[in-house]
Amino acid sequence: MVNKQTSLGDRYAEITVVLLTLIALAVGWAYKSGIENASVPFSAEGISVEAPKGWLQAEPAGTELLHTVDINSNGFGATYVIRKVAVTEGATTSEVASLMTLNYAQDLLAFRMLDQREVTVYGRDAYEINYVFVESNPDLTHAQIPSVVRGTDYVFLNGDHAIVVSFQADEKTYDLDLGRFHLFLESLTF
């Protein structure tokens, strides 16, 4: 028995190991996406949406129709909120967004507006605001310093109401969570 040289068979075996690992990871990614993108139907007051499965649906407060939180998130849990806000006749999305911003500035710690613009979201006119704040709610379940939270709201007008869809997530995971939020947003009907 000798220390044999690398043969063609060895090379094929080596390539097969790499391919097998890539296939396993690709299947793993598909499986992960299936789990993360799984949804449950939600419907209230003429608004329907596919809410993430396995998230905690908190008791809606005030104008909120849906308030769902990813309890498996690190730091500040990714949160989707749908609000239905009564508006006066002739109100524009930017005016509703300004009102939202004022409320945030009063309620949220270290609130800062990053940018705002008119956009089209899956065929609907909307107004987008991007903002940031520091988590300030007391939370006995998190033994960590408060997180910096990034948020994005989309304001849609629907007759005498505005529908405000909010996405808030820890700034460290915001970009990674954004894809899932777009699926949520795409499923929104009213």
**Footprint of another protein (CB under 8 A):** 1-4, 6-7, 9-10, 12-14, 16-18, 20-21, 24-25, 27-29, 31-32, 35-36, 54, 70, 72-74, 173, 176
Q: Nearest distance from residue 87's CB to another protein, in Å?
A: 36
Q: Nearest distance from residue 155's CB to another protein, in Å?
A: 29
Closest among 183, 115, 124 to 150, alpha carbons compared = 115
Complex with another protein: residue 166 or 173, whichever CB lies closer: 173
Complex with another protein: residue 67 or 180, whichever CB lies closer: 180
Complex with another protein: residue 20 or 58, whichever CB lies closer: 20
- Token digits for 55? 């998230």
Number of Cβ within a 10 Å radius of residue 36:
17
Q: Nearest distance from residue 108's CB to another protein, in Å?
A: 25
Complex with another protein: residue 154 or 184, whichever CB lies closer: 184
Complex with another protein: residue 12 or 122, whichever CB lies closer: 12
Q: Nearest distance from residue 16's CB to another protein, in Å?
A: 5
Number of Cβ within a 10 Å radius of residue 94:
14
Q: Nearest distance from residue 42's CB to another protein, in Å?
A: 20
Q: Nearest distance from residue 71's CB to another protein, in Å?
A: 10
Instruction: Report yes or no: 119 and 185 within 8 Å, Cβ to Cβ.
Output: no
CB-hemisphere CA count at 13 Å for 42? 21
Complex with another protein: residue 9 or 138, whichever CB lies closer: 9
Closest among 137, 152, 161 to 75, alpha carbons compared = 137
Sign of CA dihedral 159, 129, 108, 48: positive
- C-alpha–C-alpha distance, residues 141 and 75, integer Å: 10
Instruction: Report yes or no: 159 and 181 within 8 Å, Cβ to Cβ.
Output: no
